[in-house]
A and B are shown apart, each in its own frame.
Chain A
Amino acid sequence: MSRLLSWKEVPVAGWLEKKGNAKEYETGDWRTIKPVWIEKNCIQCLRCFVYCPDLAILSQGEKVAGIDYQHCKGCGICANECPSKPKALEMVAETDSE
C-alpha cells in the first residue's frame, strides 16, 4: 500500500473484503539463511510442502516445484525434515547465493 487511506476511504470497521491479500506482503526479506532445492535429489515425499509454516514450498500438480523466496522466512524446517539422501534441501547463507 503506497498511499494510506483517509478516514472517508477506510472500509467500515476495517473489514477486509480481500482474499488472502497478505500474499502481497513479502516476508522473504526476513531471511538470513535460505533453502535451496536440489531437484535431482528430491524424492517427492512432499514433507517440505506439508511442514512449511509459510506455505512457501511451490507445487505443480502433485509435485514440489521449488521455493517461494518472496515468502520463505528461512526457518530451515524443510531442510531439517528432508529425508532424501543426499538432501534435496540445503540451507545456505543468504549472501552466499546472491
Chain B
Amino acid sequence: MPNLKELMQHESFFSPGHRMCAGCVAPLVVRQVALAVGDTPVVVANATGCLEVASTIFPYTAWRCSFIHNAFANAAATLSGVETAYRALKKQGKINKEIKFIAFGGDGGTYDIGLQSLSGAMERGHNMLYICYDNGAYMNTGIQRSSATPLFADTTTSPAGQVSSGKSQWRKDLTAIMAAHNIPYAAQVAPSHFMDLMTKVQKALSVDGPSFINAMAHCPRGWRYDTREGVELTRLSVETCYWPLYEVDHGKWKLSYKPKEKKPIETWIRKQGRFRHLFTDKGQTEIKWLQQRVDEEWSKLLERCKEVG
C-alpha cells in the first residue's frame, strides 16, 4: 500500500502551469502517477494529444523529468527505442542508475492510431509502463468519436440527430486486448480511487517487462458537465460498473473493487451533456440497451475474475 504522506514529500515529475483545461481529469491521472512514482527516476514519452500539447508549449515544459514527444501513433515505439538505448548503455557499463520508462497516450493515440505501435512494444517485452488516459474521444481536435467512445455518446463525428442516437458501437475493450498480449501486468484504474491507482502504478513499475494501465479520465469540455464534478463522476463510472477496476497480474484476473450496490448507468450519464439526447421518451430504449450491455460486460468480468455475481 503506497504511503501517501511519505510520497508527497518528493518533488512531482509533473509541474503546475500546464495548460490543460480547468477541471480536466487527465493531468489528475498524471499527478497521481507522479505521486506513486515518488523519487524513482523516470523518462516519459507522450503521444500527441491534449496532455502533450498543453504541457510543452515552447519555451515552457511541465515535465521535471526527461520527456519525449515524437508523433501521434508512436509513443510506445519511441519509448521502446529509449528503453533499448538504456539497456545498451547499461550493458556497456556507461550507465548504472535504475530508470523507469512511462508512456502516456490518450484513447485516440492508444486505442486507435497507436494500437499497432503499442501492440508491437508489448509483444517485444520492453520494460515500460504504458498508461492510457481514456477520455473517450479525440478531445484535442474537438471531441470526435474514437473506439473508446461510449455507446450513444454524442460527439462531433457521431452526433445525435433525427436518425442517430449518437455513437452506435460499444467501446473497444483495450485493457482485455492488452492482457491478451500476456504481458506481466495490465490494469484498469480511475483517479477517484487514488490508492488503487497508485498501488497499481507501483505494481506495474515493479514487474519485469511491459505493463499497461487504462485510466478513466473525464473531460468536462467534451462530456459537458460542471468542472467541479470531475472526480465525483469518475467515481460514478466505477460505481455503475461502466469502468470496473481490475487487474490482470501475470495472467490472473482480479477484481479490485466491487461496488456494494451497483448503481444504474443512468446516474452517471444523466450528468453528462453528451447523453442529453437520451433523456426523452424515445431515449428510454437506448438507456435500457446501455444498461443491458453494461450488465453483460460486468458479468463477463466477474466470471473472468472468478467472482460470484
Contacts and interface: CB of A to CB of B under 8 A. Distances in A.
A and B in direct contact, judged by CB atoms within 8 A: yes
Interface of A: 1, 5, 14, 16, 18-27, 30-31, 46, 49-56, 59, 61-62, 68, 70-71, 73-77, 79-81, 91
A5 B206 CA distance: 43
Contacts of B16: 22-23, 27, 54-56, 68, 70-71
Q: Binding site of A, secondary structure by majority: helix, strand, loop or mixed?
A: loop
Nearest to B59: A1
A2 to B, nearest CB: 12
A97 B39 CA distance: 38
Contacts of A79: 228
B219 to A, nearest CB: 11
A53 B20 contact: yes
Contact of A53 (B5, B194, B230, B232): B230
Nearest to B5: A62
B32 interface: yes
B73 interface: no
Contacts of A61: 9
Contacts of A25: 17, 19, 60
Contacts of A75: 22-23, 220, 227-228, 230
A76 B228 contact: yes
B293 interface: no
A51 B28 contact: yes
B28 A53 contact: yes
B56 interface: yes
A77 B29 CA distance: 14
A53 B24 contact: yes
Given A16-B61, A53-B28, A73 B23 contact: yes
B27 A54 contact: yes
Nearest to A51: B231
A6 B290 CA distance: 56
